[in-house]
Structure 1
C-alpha cells in the first residue's frame, strides 16, 4: 500500500523564533515547505510553493495577515488558512473568518491547541480557541465569511494605503513601500476619505482597526 502524501504547510510570521517553533511542532505530521517573514513575501511564496495549508499571523509588516488572506483566497480558493495570533479581540476573529480562515488559535495556546487545529482543518473542519469561541457565541462560518460592509468595498491598493496610513507612515514612506508616486498615495488617501466619509488620519486609523485592516 502506498504511503499517503503528507499535506504541505507554509508558515508566515515576522518573528523567526515563533515561525521556527511552529515548524518544529508540526513537522512530524506535515511537510513544512517554507517560512515567510511578511505578508507580501507570503503571497509570493504561496504562488511558488502551492501549499495545502498556511499558518499565518495577523500582525505582519508590509501586508497584514487579514489582507494577505483575502488575496490568498483569490489566488487559490482551496488553500486552508490557519491564523496563529496574539490578537484576542473577537473583531479580529470575525475579520479572519471573513477573509477565509479555517482556524484561529491564540499564540498563548499554541503548544496545546495548534496540532489539533491543523488536524481538524486538514479534515475539512474549523477550529477556534475555545475561550474566544465562547466570547463571540461562534456564528456559522458562512455568516462569519460575509464581506465587511464598508471595508469590503475598498480595492486592494486602498487597503494597502490605509494600513500604512494607520501605521503612521508618511506619504513618501508609503510611496516607497508600494513603489508608487507620492501623488498616487495622496490620490488613494483622498479616495479613501471620500468613500468612507472620514476626514482625518486618526479617523482613518480607527476605521482600519475596526475593520481588521491593521491590528490595535
Structure 2
C-alpha cells in the first residue's frame, strides 16, 4: 500500500524560466566571431541567444520573424550594412534594442549607428565585460557608449552638418541598398536580381544616387560607401 507521507523530489530540467531571460540575436559576417559572441552571451543566465545571422538582409528578415529583445550586430555586413539593418529592424521591431559592434570606431561611424537607432556601440577591440555591460544597459532602457569614445562622439553629435552637404542619410532605404551593392562590386543587372526589381528600376536608382551624392563614376560611389561605413576599405 502506498505511503501517503513519502516525499517525492522532481528535478526540473528546463534551462531557464521563459519570462526571466532576455532574447538576443547575434549578427556578424564571420562565423568564428558570431559563435564566440553567442557563447559569451549564453554563459550569462539572464540572456539567451535565440538566433544568428551572417548578413544585413538576413538579420532584418530573422529579426522580423523572431522579435528578439536585443540585437548585437556588426556594423559592416555584406548585402546590407549593419547601420541600414539597424534602421530597418527598428522600423519593424520597435521594442528591439540594437548594440552595434565595429572595428571602425571613428566618431562619424558611431554617429551613424546612433542616428540609425542603435542604443549601444562597442568597439571590437573592447573586452567581453564591455559587451555584456552594453547589453545589460540597453536591456534596462539605457544607452551605452564605450568610455573611450564618449567625448569624441558627443562632439560629433553636436556638430552642425555643413549646409547643403548630402550624406547617405539623405538617401531612401532602397537607394542606400543600391549604393552598398555597387560598392560591393555588383553590376546593375546583379543589383536588380538581388533586390527583386527590374533592370530599369535598378538603373534609375543608380542614377539618382549618383546625382544626389554629386558623383559621376562608380569609383566615387565606392569611396563614398567606404567613408560612410557601408563597406570596409
Q: Smaller-chain TM-score range?
A: 0.7 to 0.9
1:207 pairs with 2:224: yes
Structure 2 counterpart of 1:24, from 39, 46, 57: 39
Equivalences for residues 46-125 of structure 1 within 5 A: 46-125=63-142
Equivalences for residues 172-187 of structure 1 within 5 A: 172-187=189-204
Number of corresponding residues: 211
Equivalences for residues 142-181 of structure 1 within 5 A: 150-181=167-198
The alpha-carbon deviation at position 168 of structure 1 amounts to 2.4
Correspondence for 1:12: 27
How high is the TM-score relative to the length of structure 2?
Answer: 0.81
> Aligned equivalents of 1:82 and 1:169: distance in 2?
28
Cα 1:195–1:3 change in 2 (3 A) is closer
Cα 1:105–1:138 change in 2 (3 A) is farther
How high is the TM-score relative to the length of structure 1?
Answer: 0.87
> Aligned equivalents of 1:189 and 1:4: distance in 2?
47
Structure 2 gaps of 5+ residues are: 1-16
Structure 1 gaps of 5+ residues are: none
Cα 1:94–1:215 change in 2 (3 A) is farther
Higher helix share: 1
1:101 partner SS: coil
The alpha-carbon deviation at position 209 of structure 1 amounts to 3.0
Correspondence for 2:205: 188
